[in-house]
Amino acid sequence: MFLREFSNEVRFLKGVGPRLSEVLGKLSISTISDLILHCPRDYVDRSRIDHLKDALKKEKVNCIVEVVAHDYIGKGYRKTLKIHIEDATGTAVLLCFGRAFLESVFVPGKRFLVSGTFKYRFGEVQSSNFEYEPYLPGNEDFKAIIPIYPLTAGITQGVLRRIMRGALDVIRDTIENELPERLITAYRFPHKSEALRTLHFPDSTASLLRARQSLVYEELFYLQLLIKRRAIKRRIQRKSRSPVPFALENRLLDRLPFSLTKDQRAVISEIKQDLFSPFAASRLLHGDVGCGKTLVAVILSLSVIESGEQVAFMAPTELLARQHADRIADLLQPIGIRIGFLSGSVRDEERKLLLDELQSGNIDLLVGTHALFSDDIAFRNLGFVIIDEQHRFGVLQRLSILKKGRNPDLLLMTATPIPRTLALTAFGDLEISTIRMQPEGRIPVITHLTREGNESRVYRRVREEISQGRQAYVVYPIIEESDSLALKDAETGFDRLSREIFPDFRCGLIHSRLQEDHKRKVMEDFSHHHLDILVATSVVEVGVDVPEATCMVIEHAERFGLSALHQLRGRVCRSVHQSYAFLIYGVNLTEDGIRRLKVMMETTDGFRIAEEDLAIRGPGELLGVKQSGFLRLTVSDLIRDKDILEAARKDAFSLLEDDPGFITPENMTIREVLNRAPPFSDEFLDGG
């Protein structure tokens, strides 16, 4: 392929010197392939030039204008630059929020191409949402659909476009179709080389759409192939477990004061099939906070224990692991199950004793933290590994615990519901079980939105609740006062709340920088109701369960991500009482901040919230794996391209079912074809 035949480095492109290649480096572009895969973030249709007099008539106009003058609105660091522009037909104003540098760009008398959305405000035709570039007669980017790229300092749209054209010319004849011809014909996809050119320089909206679809399809098709092949590969890890009469499970179910939900019963029987199949299973169980996942995992453990094997149950924090251990002990000790607990704070003699018991098989179920991964931990017969809040564990950690048994089954759990598109990609090679419903009788939380400055109203409500014997959380975005962030912090908040606002109530403070012992003490005090108010950071986010806590106050709610807000709110619908969430927002709201708060007001459905979260943050952020480069989709967008994903998946799977040997690893992904790393880190999938 061309890329290996001659140098693929972008600095050898015509017109790209050392300076420019350094600038491109900042956009993570070092090869021609990187460059070609630097996709436009938007397009401007300049095939027609509009007149300023029509600026309000169309959603977006595209005008050639001359700069008349500048001035400012507001004062000090908050002042905003205003640029007055005109063409032969009218005048308008560009508002440059946070773009004061444009003063030196828009020099009066100069001409620019401006594309934007205009509104009529304060007696003027204004735009704060516009793209611009100097208008040079004879510019070839004129009268066409023009790509708008993500940029960095030191490079302009015009320059990037010129380089891009050059690169596309260089590679034009070397790009081959990768997809099977049959599919290309069936979908009537353009040739890949044409598709890439069209992606950057479309000659019509229709051809752009088709080009993009073909590239997205190709990317997702190879991703699904990869996923399916791994799933097939995993099917050969054998285990043996004899059927059991489920006596332990029945004993537990008899003792429960409630019956299982339909979803709980369904996933239990689904996962039991895994447990008694001849192959080691990897499954993800997801469902909203409080839907009863832990109970499901405990019930499943009983089958494994009954067949004479051991179970490991892991949680990401000491706090959570302890809480699980306590609850599991309450459930299982009465039916004779031997439970152990291990964390970093279990040391010396106690630890030694525990390890002995574990090795000799005197412990059936070991609950713990990362400590379970340690080298010196050995099980007699580990058959089932359960990992709660799986996203908080690394892949290698997961692998190391699996190695402690002979192909044990793996159950990953997460309280962040996973949108379907993510389930099919990020977790595509895992079996997935979903609990959608909540146990009956839960009273939905009531959510209030309050502007900063009106907290006293919230405090009054909290006071009423506490006076009736309830408890409250007050959560802050940061631990201590910070100069750089004008935010309220937990320590200052704690001082104020405990001294001025609620001097008559018992307040505690918890955050990640406290010692484990201290944290545990505070948490215990709160859950035993020796404290009325728990001031905290988002450490209380995961799984903590205190039934009398009915108020969740979140300061600077706009600073928290959707899933954190949802998890925090999930802390207070745990009992028979009505519960409340008070979201207090600060003055400087971003668009995303507003959107998040709106979603929180609209719904308590974790699945909906997760979809929104995916839309706002993208898959990398959502899974907390952006850094590792995992799920590095180049052209695809998991929200927009849902339907293509489904189609690509179906095609890829049926292809592999028919011909498991199809596709060699060399021609796997669009990115690899263009000489780069695969979109997935192998590690992740192997670990899952």
Question: Which residues here bind Mg ion, judged by CB under 5 A?
Answer: 294, 543
447: partner contacted, choices ligand ADP, Mg ion, none (Cβ within 5-8 A by kind) = none
159: partner contacted, choices Mg ion, ligand ADP, none (Cβ within 5-8 A by kind) = none
Query: Which of 542, 508, 509 has the alpha carbon at shortest distance from 321?
Result: 542
Q: Of all helices (H) and strands (E), which one includes residue 368?
A: strand 365-368
| Interface pattern 400-439 for ligand ADP (x via CB under 6 A) | ---------------x-----------------------x
The sign of the torsion formed by the CA atoms of 56, 57, 61, 66 equals negative
295: partner contacted, choices Mg ion, ligand ADP, none (Cβ within 5-8 A by kind) = ligand ADP
Interface segment toward ligand ADP; rule CB under 6 A; list 103-111, 199-207, 254-262, 519-527: 254-262
Q: What does DSSP assign to residue 501? A: I
Q: What phi and psi values does residue 651 have, to the nearest 5 degrees?
A: -65, -45
Residue with tokens 């009863």: 292
Taking the complex as a whole, the smallest distance from the CB of residue 481 to ligand ADP amounts, in Å, to: 34
| Of 61 and 565, CB closest to ligand ADP | 565
| Of 401 and 435, CB closest to ligand ADP | 435
List 72, 101, 258, 662, residue binding ligand ADP (CB under 6 A): 258
Taking the complex as a whole, the smallest distance from the CB of residue 388 to Mg ion amounts, in Å, to: 6
**Interface with ligand ADP, residue 563, by CB under 6 A:** no
Taking the complex as a whole, the smallest distance from the CB of residue 291 to ligand ADP amounts, in Å, to: 5
Contact present, 339 and 283 (Cβ < 8 Å): no
Residue with tokens 């304060």: 122
Residues from 438 through 477 that contact ligand ADP (CB under 6 A): 439
| Of 313 and 373, CB closest to ligand ADP | 313
439: partner contacted, choices Mg ion, ligand ADP, none (Cβ within 5-8 A by kind) = ligand ADP
Taking the complex as a whole, the smallest distance from the CB of residue 290 to Mg ion amounts, in Å, to: 8
Q: Of all helices (H) and strands (E), which one includes residue 227?
A: helix 205-234
**Interface with ligand ADP, residue 567, by CB under 6 A:** no
| Of 327 and 406, CB closest to ligand ADP | 327
Interface segment toward ligand ADP; rule CB under 6 A; list 22-30, 283-291, 341-349, 504-512: 283-291
345: its two tokens: 């704070």
CB-based contacts of 455: which residues, under 8 Å, 6+ apart? 584
| Of 106 and 313, CB closest to ligand ADP | 313
Q: Is 402 helix (H, G, I), strand (E, B) or coil?
A: helix
Contact present, 472 and 466 (Cβ < 8 Å): yes
Burial (CB < 10 A; 0-12, 13-18, 19+), residue 394, is middle
Q: Is 89 helix (H, G, I), strand (E, B) or coil?
A: coil
Neighbours of 262 (CB within 10 A): 11
| Of 68 and 260, CB closest to ligand ADP | 260
| Of 416 and 425, CB closest to ligand ADP | 416
Q: What does DSSP assign to residue 335? A: G
**Interface with ligand ADP, residue 289, by CB under 6 A:** yes
**Interface with ligand ADP, residue 329, by CB under 6 A:** no
Number of residues that bind ligand ADP (CB under 6 A): 14
Q: Give every strand in the sheet of 533-536, ordered side by side.
A: 446-451, 580-585, 549-554, 471-475, 533-536, 507-510
| Of 311 and 656, CB closest to Mg ion | 311
Query: Which of 336, 343, 252 has the alpha carbon at shortest distance from 298?
Result: 252
292: partner contacted, choices Mg ion, ligand ADP, none (Cβ within 5-8 A by kind) = ligand ADP
Taking the complex as a whole, the smallest distance from the CB of residue 71 to Mg ion amounts, in Å, to: 57
**Interface with ligand ADP, residue 290, by CB under 6 A:** yes
**Interface with ligand ADP, residue 264, by CB under 6 A:** yes
List 38, 46, 161, 293, residue binding ligand ADP (CB under 6 A): 293
How far apart are the C-alpha atoms of 249 and 272, rounded to whole Å?
A: 12
Contact present, 298 and 332 (Cβ < 8 Å): yes
How far apart are the C-alpha atoms of 344 and 346, rounded to whole Å?
A: 5
Greatest CA span in the chain, whole angstroms? Answer: 90
End-to-end CA distance of the chain: 33
Taking the complex as a whole, the smallest distance from the CB of residue 385 to ligand ADP amounts, in Å, to: 17
148: partner contacted, choices ligand ADP, Mg ion, none (Cβ within 5-8 A by kind) = none
How far apart are the C-alpha atoms of 609 and 436, rounded to whole Å?
A: 13
**Interface with ligand ADP, residue 266, by CB under 6 A:** no
Q: Which residues bind ligand ADP (CB under 6 A)?
A: 258, 260-261, 264, 287, 289-295, 415, 439
